[in-house]
């Protein structure tokens, strides 16, 4: 199969189609696909940017926020229909591109897209702005005077490709703030942003003409300089190296909004390991670890499990292993490259070697492959190290006597903890969330929901939309003074 993979304003279509192309090839699940992407020149990109900027000025910025929400909601409703052509294309092609299980991709698209329905888009805006109308007009301030929020005229998005459809968070932010979009897709998953942009264009061609979703190789200095310089904001997702490379290229007059690498973990209290609840707890934890093979920052590297329940933390590790095996049967892990396999095998070998000398270390693993790995570690040492996973369904279980002990493990990762999935009783709830908040955790959620944040969450502890806008204040002094010059004043 061959699929043309880009979106540009309609006036730029001939400019791109008459240029040169290259092919990105993917092979998984016994199938191959080729995605053809434009080999961009600086001149082509410059003309595309000129068009989206003009479209933002002449059309998008004049739209009311509710009108944009309605358009976006219509696009989401199309995608929630299993018979929609682009939804079917995504379900067919994304597993081949990413290697992820087909059913997991299908389920995720439905669950993820539901977060962008009309009511949830309104929640995103309400979460960041006390008066959402300030995105459309000057509104009275409580302290006197007026104010209004203006989104960037142009935003460049550096999308990540570790989880399909994830770029929709960033894309939605730009569109809701009436910005023109230059989206650079990832080489590992370039398809979904293109398909969704084309859906927007189906519903409102004029809004679609404010979007350009293109591929170029990361580090292409001339193209990145062209895009960054023409933007008011750059939003980038990626690892530490990618973020630093982009940061160095963003001009000083352009705001930079990085979302770099983070880690997450689970915390389970003894009440969750009572006889009737333990297996459900293990099933929820296995889902958090296994969903998209731990590739997102929201996936746990470790579970801290409190002693004192009917079942021990060691028992929980065995239950977790069983449930990860069950998950593997229904949603097999993606195929790994040699370096990914070697990372898991190296870590397994290290654990097995150390376990010969200590009964406090145990490795539970899938048979005949590296599909999943559970390490149980109750080793005692002066320095409590946070166990970083090699990913791809590799997790560590650490027993604790009290939840306060986790602070000893977090010193090395403080400031980098994204999400904590918590299983606890109402009696422990308040102490736990205060403890985690003091540790700098950005998001606390229920066990089993770690990969699925709710609309309006503060990604990396920041506002999703408000960080991108510029506020214009009109002071009350002008309101009072202008009456002196009222031509109708007696």
Residue-wise pLDDT tens digits, 422-466: 999 999 999 999 999 999 999 999 999 999 988 778 889 999 899
Provide the token pair at 467: 């960080």
Considering the segment(s) 263-441 as one domain, its CATH architecture is 3-Layer(aba) Sandwich (3.40)
- Selection from 402, 418, 398, 404 nearest residue 304 by Cα: 398
pLDDT in tens, 350-393: 999 988 888 889 999 999 899 999 999 998 776 789 999 999 99
pLDDT in tens, 19-40: 999 999 999 999 999 999 999 9
Please report the sign of the dihedral spanned by the C-alpha atoms of residue 459, residue 192, residue 332, residue 345.
Answer: negative
CB count, 10 Å around CB of 15?
17
pLDDT in tens, 74-118: 999 999 999 999 999 999 999 999 999 999 999 999 999 999 999
> Both ends of the chain: CA-CA distance in Å?
77
Per-residue pLDDT at 358:
83
Residue 187 has pLDDT above 70, yes or no: yes
Provide the token pair at 345: 């095998």
Residue 51 has pLDDT above 80, yes or no: yes
Q: What are phi and psi of 285, to 5 degrees?
A: -65, -40
Q: Please list, in sequence order, all residues whose beta carbon lies within 8 angstroms of the beta carbon of residue 459, skipping any fewer than 6 positions away.
A: 169, 259, 442, 453
Per-residue pLDDT at 382:
66
In the chain, CATH 3.40.605.10 covers 2-261+462-474
Per-residue pLDDT at 1:
78
Considering the segment(s) 2-261+462-474 as one domain, its CATH architecture is 3-Layer(aba) Sandwich (3.40)
Q: What are phi and psi of 286, to 5 degrees?
A: -65, -35
Residue 66 has pLDDT above 80, yes or no: yes
Per-residue pLDDT at 393:
98
* Mean pLDDT along residues 33-57: 97
Give the separation between CA 96 and CA 390, rounded to whole angstroms.
23
In the chain, CATH 3.40.309.10 covers 263-441
pTM value surpassing 0.75: yes
pLDDT interval class at 348 (50, 70, 90) = very high
Burial 218-257 (b: 16+ CB within 10 A, else e): eeeeebbebbbebbbbbbbbbeeebbebbeebbeeebbbb
Place of tokens 């669950």: 111
Whether the CB-CB separation of 392 and 324 falls below 8 Å is answered with no
pLDDT in tens, 268-286: 999 999 988 999 999 999 9
Place of tokens 């997790």: 395
């Amino acid at each position: 199969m061959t699929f043309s993979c880009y979106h540009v304003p309609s006036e730029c279509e001939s400019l791109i189609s008459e240029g040169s192309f290259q092919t990105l090839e993917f092979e998984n699940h016994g199938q191959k696909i080729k995605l053809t992407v434009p080999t961009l020149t600086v001149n082509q990109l410059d003309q595309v940017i000129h068009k989206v900027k003009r479209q933002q000025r002449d059309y998008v910025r004049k739209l009311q926020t509710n009108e944009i929400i309605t358009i976006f909601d219509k696009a989401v409703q199309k995608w929630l229909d299993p018979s929609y052509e682009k939804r079917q294309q995504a379900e067919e092609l994304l597993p081949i591109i990413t290697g992820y299980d087909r059913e997991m991709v299908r389920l995720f698209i439905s669950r993820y897209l539901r977060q962008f329905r009309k009511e949830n888009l309104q929640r995103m805006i309400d979460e960041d702005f006390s008066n959402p109308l300030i995105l459309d007009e000057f509104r009275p301030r409580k302290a006197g005077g007026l104010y209004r929020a203006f989104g960037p005229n142009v935003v460049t998005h550096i999308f990540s490709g570790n989880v399909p459809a994830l770029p929709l968070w960033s894309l939605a932010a730009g569109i809701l703030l009436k910005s023109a979009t230059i989206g650079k897709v990832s080489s590992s998953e370039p398809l979904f942003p293109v398909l969704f942009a084309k859906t927007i264009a189906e519903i409102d061609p004029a809004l679609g003409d404010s979007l350009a979703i293109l591929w170029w190789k990361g580090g292409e200095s001339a193209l990145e300089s062209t895009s960054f310089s023409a933007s008011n904001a750059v939003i980038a997702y990626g690892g530490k190296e990618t973020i630093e490379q982009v940061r160095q290229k963003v001009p000083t007059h352009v705001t930079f909004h990085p979302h770099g690498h983070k880690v997450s973990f689970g915390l389970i209290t003894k009440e969750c390991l009572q006889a009737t609840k333990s297996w459900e707890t293990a099933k929820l934890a296995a889902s958090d670890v296994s969903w998209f093979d731990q590739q997102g920052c929201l996936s746990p590297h470790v579970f801290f499990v409190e002693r004192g329940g009917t079942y021990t933390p060691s028992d929980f590790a065995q239950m977790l292993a069983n449930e990860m095996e069950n998950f593997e049967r229904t949603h097999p892990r993606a195929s790994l490259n040699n370096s990914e396999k070697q990372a898991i095998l190296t870590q397994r070998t290290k654990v097995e070697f150390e376990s010969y000398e200590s009964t406090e270390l145990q490795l539970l693993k899938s048979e005949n492959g590296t599909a999943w790995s559970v390490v149980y570690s109750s080793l005692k040492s002066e320095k409590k190290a946070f166990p970083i996973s090699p990913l791809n369904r590799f997790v560590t279980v650490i027993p604790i006597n009290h939840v306060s002990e986790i602070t000893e493990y977090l010193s090395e990762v403080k400031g980098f903890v994204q999400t904590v999935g918590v299983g606890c009783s109402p009696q422990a709830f308040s102490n736990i969330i205060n403890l985690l908040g003091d540790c700098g955790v950005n998001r606390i959620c229920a066990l089993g929901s770690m990969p699925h944040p709710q609309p309006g969450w503060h990604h990396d502890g920041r506002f999703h939309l408000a960080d991108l806008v510029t506020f214009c204040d009109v002071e009350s002094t002008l309101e009072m003074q202008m009456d002196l010059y009222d031509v109708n004043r007696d």
